[in-house]
Structure formats: C-alpha cells, structure tokens
Amino acid sequence: MTDHNAISPLRRWTALFLFTLVLGCNYLDRFLLSILLEPIKTDLAISDTQAGLLTGAAFALFYSAFAIPLARLAERVNRVWVLAASLLLWSVATALCGAVTGFVTLLLARMLVGVGEAGGIPPSHSMVADLFAPTQRGGAMSILALGVAAGATLAPLIGGPLEAMVGWRLTFVILGAPGALLALALAAFVREPPRGHSEGLVHHGAPAPLWATVLTLWRRRAFRNLVLGMALLALCEYSLFLWLPTVFRRSFGLTGVELGAGLALFQGLPYAVATLAGGMISDRLYRRDRRWAAWVPLISALVALPAVAALSLASTPLLAFVLIVPPFLASGLALGPCYAMIQSLAEVRSRATATAILLFAVNIVGGALGPLMIGMLSDALTARFGEQALRFAFLALTPLYLGGALAFFAVGRSLEAGLREAAGDEGGG
C-alpha cells in the first residue's frame, strides 16, 4: 500500500495551485475571443453565424477530437509533461490569433487553440484525484475549477480595457504570452503523483484498451446521465459566456471598459464564489448522503431557468446584469461535485479518459452546438427583432436547463450503484 505521508501538504497544495493557474489560462484564452468579437466582426466583416463557428465549433470540434487521444497519452506517460506541452501550444496559438488576415485564418488559429486546450483538463483532474481523498475531492475540484471562474472573469475584465488601449490584435498576443512561463513553472515545481495514491492503491500496469474503458464507463447509468446533464448545462453556459458580451455591446451600447466591469461583477464574481462553495457544500453533504453530489447541480439548473427566460425582456443593462447572476451561480455550484463524481465513477487508470469522454460530450454539445445555435437563431430573428434578436435567441436555452435537471435527478437515483461498481472493478483489478 502506498505511504500516504509520501506526498507532503506543501507538494499537494503547490500542485493544486499551479493546476488552477493553468485552468485560468485555459479559460481566459478560450473566452477572450468572445470579448473581442464585435471589433473583430467589424474588421473582418463576418456574420453572426460565422462568429458562432469561431466561438463554438472551430474550437470545440478540435478540442473534442483531441481530448481522448491526449487523455490516453496521459494514462501512459508523465501527466505533468502532457499538461505543460498542451499549455505551451494553446498559448502560442492564442497569440497567433492576433496575426490573422481574415475569417479562414482566424478559424485555423482557433482550431489550434482547441487542440492545445484538449490536453489541459484531463491530466489535471486525474492528478488532483490522486492527491486528494474522495471525501476531500469535491472541495479540491472546486478550487481547481476556480481557474475556470478566474479565466472567465479576467477575459472581460482585462480583455475589454486592453482592447480599448492597444486593439484586439495586440490583446491576443499580450494575453497569450503568460502561458509559456507557466509551462516552465509546471515542469520545474510539480512532480506527478503515484496513480491511486489518495485511495492507498498502487498501479504500475498499463491501462485497459480504450474500447474496454469506454464500454465499462458507459455501462454505468450514473456516468451516462452525468455526461448528459453536464452536456446540457454546458450548452447553456457556453452560449451565455460566448454571446453575452455581444448582447451588452449590441443591445445596450456598452463600451469595452463598461462591459468588462459589469461582467466581472455580475458574471465572474458569482461564478467564482459559487464554484468554491459548490464543492465544499457537496463535500459536507456527501458525508451524509452521497447523492447530494447529484442534487446540488440539479437544484442549480432549476435556479438558472427562470432568470435566463427573463433575460430577453430586460429593459436596462443593470437589469440584464442582475438576471445573469443566477445562471452563473448555477454553473459554478455544479462544477466541483460533477467533476468529483466523474473521478469517483472511474477506476484509477481510466480517470483522465473518463474526464476526456465528459469533455468530448460537453464540447460537442455545448461548445460546438450552443454558440452556433444561438448565432443561427439570432440571424433568423433579426428581420423581426433587429438588434434585440440575440437576446430572444436565449429563450431556446430554457428547456435545456430543465433537461439538465432531469438528467441530474437520474444521476442521483443511480449514483450509489455506480460508485459500488467502480470500487468493485478496482478491487477486482
């Protein structure tokens, strides 16, 4: 059995801190395009449908295509090196977005960002699961997910004012550069934890074949329903994240500085607070009843639904900002418990792959289809609603929140059986 004192608290928390910074860079680079979209649309003369492709499908399809291969690589080799190399790639690709000459070259640059970012989350989640025990995992995953909230907050807070000062091209270059330094810090200060360390397991063998891993995971009803629920929430979340900056510029005439301050206060801050709270709340409730890991995101989805429905009717920018608080509270609350459940429903040697399967579904459904769907609806509704068409397109998200809530209800009903199956397979292996 692995010696649990082999990894010091300093090493454990240093790794978690750096992984959180990596996810911050990941989401800052991911959402930066949406903050700069209006000046880019003007300079490059692109439509809302093309913008939906750039913010959604161009990134998400390549992200999804490479997520599983890079996760399988992380199951076999040093996960720190996979993470550092991926970070370096997407940072360089972000900087290259500032050198594009038109829609096609920007599309190619976004595809390259997607390839790099595909190697970010699976190895990070897998290593955090090895560093923190199951009863601490929701809180640790929430701290890790603070990087998501930080990146999503910093994108408007820094990107908007920076674009006003130096233009959108140089903004891409400036904000893409820090990732290279962080990649060096990862290589210098983080050592890969032993696989299975947090559960006292020792795994030296090769992982099961991909087909066997996918089949084993997919047979678990809780895993299937969890992937469905997160995919539906992601479709809503990505649509809001990537189109709200345009809504506030187009419908209310906000400047980049006003937009950055408003989104940081009403979107980023609630998202960050809820992200940290979600895992800690679910960890506490998990000790009483493990089904709370599914019930927390269920309640979150139901809270978001009426606020998003009312967003199309907001008559002032302040009211619109207030209405985006509930959906981002909901998104943050769901992250920690959902990521922890994914790791607990997978065996030690399939954790990165389990996360990659989740991300594949989340990015195909949420990242690719969500922004594209909203862009197409906006173009279709423009003849009737003019500049307000984009806000009315958000009404399509309300039944999807309900579908997500139903999926998490199904997760709660099957979670105990799924956890027993994962523990039994691990023992048998």
Concatenating the DSSP letter of every residue in 4-43 gives TTSS-HHHHHHHHHHHHHHHHHHHHHHHHHHHTHHHHHHH
* Domain range summary for the chain, segments of one domain joined by +: 9-191+209-428
pLDDT of amino acid 326: 93
pTM flag (> 0.75): no
pLDDT tens digits, residue range 66-92? 988 998 898 888 999 999 999 999 999
Span 323-375, pLDDT tens digits: 999 999 998 888 888 888 888 898 877 888 888 888 888 877 777 788 788 88
pLDDT of 322 > 70? The answer is yes
Inform me whether the pLDDT recorded for 111 exceeds 50. yes
Residue 423 scores a pLDDT above 80: no
Closest by CA to 174, choosing from 166, 182, 185, is 166
Please determine, for residue 428, whether its predicted confidence score (pLDDT) is greater than 70: no
Among 227-231, 257-261, 324-328, 423-427, which stretch is predicted with the lowest mean pLDDT?
A: 423-427
Superfamily of chain region 9-191+209-428: MFS general substrate transporter like domains (1.20.1250.20)
Residue 276 corresponds to which tokens in the numbers above? Answer: 């940290």
The yes-or-no verdict on residue 231 having pLDDT over 70 is yes
Q: Is the pLDDT of residue 199 over 80?
A: no
User: Cα angle vertex 164, ends 160, 170, to 5°?
Assistant: 85
CA 339, 270, 265, 320 torsion: positive or negative? Answer: positive
Reported as a single tens digit per residue, the pLDDT across 383-404 is: 888 878 888 888 999 999 999 9
Task: Specify burial of residue 393 (Cβ count, 10 A radius: 0-12, 13-18, 19+).
Answer: buried
- Specify the pLDDT at position 425: 60
Say if CB 240 and CB 400 are below 8 A apart: no
Confidence of residue 4 (pLDDT cuts 50, 70, 90): very low
What are the tens digits of pLDDT across the range 125-169?
889 988 888 778 878 888 888 888 888 778 888 888 898 899 999
Side chain identity at residue 283, one-letter code: D
**Is 407 a residue whose pLDDT tops 80?**
yes
> Looking at residue 207, what DSSP letter applies?
P
| The two structure tokens encoding residue 419 | 């956890």
Q: Which of 47-61, 198-212, 217-231, 406-420 has the lowest mean pLDDT?
A: 198-212
pLDDT (average), residues 172-194: 91
Q: How many CB atoms lie within 10 A of CB 328?
A: 29
- Could you give the C-alpha distances from 305 to 30, 37, 42, 328, 356, in angstroms and in order? 25, 26, 33, 11, 27
